[in-house]
Chains A and B, each alone.
Chain A
Amino acid sequence: MTSPLKCDFCENPATVHLTQIVNNKVHKVDLCEACAQKKGVTDPSGFSLADLLLKASLNPEKSLSGTRCPKCSFTQADFKKSGRFGCPSCYDTFKEMLDPMLDGMHKGTTHVGKVPKVALTRKSLYDRLTKLENELSEAVKSERYEEAARFRDEINQVKQSAGVNKEVKS
């Protein structure tokens, strides 16, 4: 006979064996009585394997422990406390920690659903305008007037097309 399995969280022999099939992927957890109680596995209504996997994947300390989100100063320790991020940029800052977590949590790791088209178009127009305006002022500063005139025309064009888009919409 094989030796008894050890609990995934401590050294005690595992007596609770749980298998959950998510998207045809088999996830198995082996737990001892005490850890099973602690993780709420014995309560069928309040338990989800995803939560457990999330906690398990967070356990090995990653090199991110000193990292702070440059945008909002959020840390990995803060995430452990609340299970929530500080701001949208945290998704870039803590990408390394996030990726293995998402794997067990969702059906896939890439978004395939709705895209905010209007907002994205607006943002790309805005970004383009900002870039052109910077280039225009640079050109004026260095007295490259021919180029400046071209930038100005382009800016007007972008503004006009944005305006036309709006008119068509409403």
Chain B
Amino acid sequence: MTISTLLDSKSELTDSSSNKTAIVLMTRVRLARNIAGQSFPGWARPAQRDAILEKCQKAVTSISPLKRGLSLSVNELSELEKLNLVERHLISRELSGSTQGSGVIISRDQTFSVMVNEEDHLRIQVLRSGFHLRKAWNQIDELDSALEEELDFAFSPTLGYLTACPTNLGTGLRASAMMHLPALVISNQMEKVVRAVNQLGMVVRGLFGEGSDASGSIFQISNQMTLGETEEDIIKRLSSVLQSIVEHELNAREKLMESESGKLFDKLGRAYGILQNSHLLTSGEAMNLLSLIRLGVDLKMYPESCRSIIDRLFIETQPGHLQYAHKSAYDAQQRDFIRAARLRTEFLQVPKPDFTINTSDKN
């Protein structure tokens, strides 16, 4: 398997949407692990990093879900390939910026990825579309136990798994969900939600993690604390927080439909018009418009079959994917032309929104 077969093949994110993924687009669980007695990647000398990379690649590729996967060294990848992997959430921005002695192993179906020499020696990740926290945890737990047979992890009986940053100490577990919350954004309730979620010890971020914006009304919600709580409890607590956010979003939608359906229809109709006719679209604007259409699908103004088109376009209109599809590099403005052209073509197949839906019909 090569990087181009991987990027040309369907990913978990772009091709498995259904109405089950209506609000929680995807769930992700990651574990931070380090090799006992070795300096953490940020402090290790280049030769040590290389040795760790080799050792970890060998161990990881011997385990079943990754055996037939793709093992890549970051310095062998082009900028564009790295950007594509970031946009698919298979590597982090931090890993894509590293120069020497870093790598990633990705399973064929792109649900598992193991980054080597990112902030920690190993960052193991499982990614699933829809709301599947428990399943993702079980899968990563199994993979981690298998890896433990091959590698000695840095572990302290009192502090748990030792990580480069003390914020990941203990379980090394970060579980997160990508949520589409357009009604909470439209009705200006997001700030309130963020504050409430923070008080419960959870963090809200934009689509691409730390420091990224929340274009497309997509938010990433994850646990902040990793020590003093079992993995099961972290997953359980996060699940109940996510569940209550889903309920708030559904309530906000209902309210919008009851009291402001005219304004809402105007937004959705304009989004449709722009996507069918514009010639210049930044990725931020495209995300926001697609987000409105996706809300329209949830409200049954568009056929359910449109959902997978939208979810695919969320990823494929990102700068990296756009350039990869055209097999060359473009500057930002050229990209905006290409993006608009692509969206015009895609939206030829999308029927006009049906505004006659019964506003009191709740799913």
Residues of B within 8 A of A141 (CB): none
Task: Report how far A78 CA is from B43 CA in the complex, Å.
Answer: 10
B344 within 8 Å of A (CB atoms): no
List the A residue with the shortest CB-CB distance to B219.
A45
* B207 to A: closest C-beta gap in Å: 12
Q: Assuming the A-B contacts A87-B40, A106-B228, A119-B155, are A46 and B198 also in contact, with contact meaning beta carbons closer than 8 angstroms in the complex?
A: no
B149 and A84 contact, CB distance less than 8 A: no
Count B interface residues, CB 8 Å. Answer: 54
Q: Assuming the A-B contacts A48-B198, A48-B203, A83-B165, are A106 and B225 also in contact, with contact meaning beta carbons closer than 8 angstroms in the complex?
A: yes
Q: 21 A-B pairs, CB-CB below 8 angstroms?
A: A48-B198, A71-B37, A82-B42, A85-B43, A88-B34, A88-B154, A98-B166, A106-B170, A106-B229, A107-B227, A107-B229, A109-B227, A110-B159, A111-B170, A111-B171, A111-B227, A112-B230, A113-B170, A114-B230, A115-B155, A122-B152
Q: Assuming the A-B contacts A102-B166, A106-B226, are A91 and B156 also in contact, with contact meaning beta carbons closer than 8 angstroms in the complex?
A: yes
Interface string of B226-237 (1 = CB under 8 A from A): 111111000000
List the B residue with the shortest CB-CB distance to A111.
B160
A45 and B162 contact, CB distance less than 8 A: no
Residues of B within 8 A of A22 (CB): 199, 201, 225
List the B residue with the shortest CB-CB distance to A120.
B155
List the A residue with the shortest CB-CB distance to B35.
A88
Residues of B within 8 A of A101 (CB): 166
A112 and B164 contact, CB distance less than 8 A: no
A118 within 8 Å of B (CB atoms): yes
A107 and B225 contact, CB distance less than 8 A: yes
In the complex, chain A residues 89-139 whose Cβ is within 8 Å of any chain B Cβ: 89, 91, 98, 101-102, 105-120, 122-123
List the A residue with the shortest CB-CB distance to B151.
A119
Residues of A within 8 A of B224 (CB): 48, 50
Task: Report how far A106 CA is from B234 CA in the complex, Å.
Answer: 12
B152 and A108 contact, CB distance less than 8 A: no
Residues of A within 8 A of B226 (CB): 106
Partner of A102 from the list B148, B165, B206, B227 (CB cut-off 8 Å) is B227
List the A residue with the shortest CB-CB distance to B144.
A114
Contacts A20-B199, A113-B170 supplied; 9 other A-B pairs, CB < 8 Å: A22-B201, A87-B40, A102-B166, A106-B169, A106-B226, A107-B228, A109-B227, A113-B229, A116-B153
B43 and A87 contact, CB distance less than 8 A: yes
* A79 to B: closest C-beta gap in Å: 9
* B228 to A: closest C-beta gap in Å: 2
Task: Report how far A107 CA is from B167 CA in the complex, Å.
Answer: 11
Closest 8 A/B residue pairs (Cβ)? A108-B228, A111-B160, A88-B154, A106-B227, A107-B228, A86-B43, A113-B171, A84-B164
B194 within 8 Å of A (CB atoms): yes
Q: Give the interface centre of A88, A91, A112, A118 by most chain B CB atoms within 10 Å.
A: A88
B204 within 8 Å of A (CB atoms): yes
Residues of B within 8 A of A77 (CB): none
Q: Please list the residues of chain B having a beta carbon within 8 angstroms of any beta carbon in chain A.
A: 34, 36-40, 42-43, 119, 141, 144-145, 148-149, 151-162, 164-167, 169-171, 173, 191, 194-195, 198-199, 201, 203-206, 211, 214, 224-231
List the A residue with the shortest CB-CB distance to B37.
A88
A84 and B159 contact, CB distance less than 8 A: no
A72 within 8 Å of B (CB atoms): yes
Task: Report how far A44 CA is from B88 CA in the complex, Å.
Answer: 26
Residues of A within 8 A of B159 (CB): 91, 110-111
Task: Report how far A44 CA is from B155 CA in the complex, Å.
Answer: 34
Residues of B within 8 A of A115 (CB): 155, 157
A107 and B42 contact, CB distance less than 8 A: no
List the A residue with the shortest CB-CB distance to B145.
A118
Task: Report how far A49 CA is from B224 CA in the complex, Å.
Answer: 11
Q: Assuming the A-B contacts A107-B229, A108-B228, are A85 and B155 also in contact, with contact meaning beta carbons closer than 8 angstroms in the complex?
A: no
Residues of B within 8 A of A83 (CB): 165
A84 and B171 contact, CB distance less than 8 A: no
Residues of A within 8 A of B154 (CB): 88
A23 within 8 Å of B (CB atoms): yes
Task: Report how far A23 CA is from B200 CA in the complex, Å.
Answer: 8
List the A residue with the shortest CB-CB distance to B31.
A114
Q: Give the interface centre of B152, B157, B167, B204 by most chain A CB atoms within 10 Å.
A: B167
A113 and B194 contact, CB distance less than 8 A: no
A164 within 8 Å of B (CB atoms): no
B195 and A85 contact, CB distance less than 8 A: no
Partner of B229 from the list A82, A88, A105, A112 (CB cut-off 8 Å) is A112
Residues of B within 8 A of A106 (CB): 169-170, 225-229
B229 and A118 contact, CB distance less than 8 A: no
* B201 to A: closest C-beta gap in Å: 5
Residues of B within 8 A of A72 (CB): 39, 43
A21 within 8 Å of B (CB atoms): yes
Task: Report how far A22 CA is from B156 CA in the complex, Å.
Answer: 25
